[in-house]
Structure 1
Amino acid sequence: MDEVRMSVRLPRDVVDFLGRMAKENFTSRNAEVIRSVRERMKRVQSGADEAAE
């Protein structure tokens, strides 16, 4: 897998949420960000995301 390192500024509530989810899922905040983005990618690719907006 090709990886790119990047910095992202996030609101405190998002960071707190990622921390809680990472702890619940025994994973890292980075893994939670990737999971969230991939879920969104799937919705957009399936067309479901546009229908929800």
Structure 2
Amino acid sequence: MLTIALLLLAGFIVGVALTAMFALLYIGVIHAEAVRIVDTHLAGIAMPTAGPVMTMRQMV
């Protein structure tokens, strides 16, 4: 009985780990494609310059 419970728990953990790995891989592929699209779309457009960055240390 204990062996069956441990095998079920191990199978659940392995299943969750594999699902998470595939999900992160899929999200990474989508993100890389989105970055490529944005980079090629903005290739000829200059990005606006940002003003000075204020940090909490500078504000005090």
TM-score (normalised: structure 2): 0.34
Q: Which has the higher helix share?
A: 2
TM-score (normalised: structure 1): 0.38
Rg larger for? 2
**Larger relative contact order (CA 8 Å, sep ≥ 6):** 1
